[in-house]
Amino acid sequence: MKALLALTTLLLALPALADTVKVDNAWVRATAPGQKVAGAFMDLTADADMAVVAAASPAAKVVQLHTMSMDNGVMVMREIKEVTLAKGKTVSLKPGGMHVMLIDLTGQIKAGSKTPVTLTVRGADGKTQKVAVELEAREPGGGGGMQHHMH
């Protein structure tokens, strides 16, 4: 009887159905041997007003959220604090725009391989949750042709 009571308490302690983020089309640019950085891209759709506030991956020592823009005719990347997700609206992280930057790669990312990334997402209630994403490595040069310049 005591055990049953404890179980009930545990179930009640679980959070109510949390807001979620749907991730589609997640990929990372495959790298050449020795290359230390790679950009990762995906489509994010949240079912509430949320924000991606951090990212981490075992494939890189540092993972940052970046935006890319033209500055005097030169493409520059800047770190951003978060990627805002409005309820129901798909936000695309794509070459030439916002992206997840894997920095100081622990190894080569070969085309066709999978790279895990964990996003930290903050909900409207201020609570954070982790969202596991699997990035499919795609060969560079297949269109886009974005260069990553660290500065």
Nearest distance, CB of residue 111 and Cu ion, angstroms: 20
Residue listed under structure tokens 């999978």:
114
What are the backbone angles phi and psi of residue 12, rounded to the nearest 5°?
-70, -25
By beta-carbon proximity to Cu ion, the closer residue of 101 and 119 is: 101
Nearest distance, CB of residue 96 and Cu ion, angstroms: 11
Among 42, 54, 45, 34, CA closest to 104: 34
Residues of this chain that bind Cu ion (CB under 5 A): 66, 77, 101
Nearest distance, CB of residue 103 and Cu ion, angstroms: 8
46 CB neighbour count, 10 Å cutoff: 24
By beta-carbon proximity to Cu ion, the closer residue of 19 and 63 is: 63
**Cβ(33)–Cβ(141) below 8 Å:** no
By beta-carbon proximity to Cu ion, the closer residue of 19 and 30 is: 30
**Cβ(134)–Cβ(116) below 8 Å:** yes
Nearest distance, CB of residue 79 and Cu ion, angstroms: 8
By beta-carbon proximity to Cu ion, the closer residue of 104 and 125 is: 104
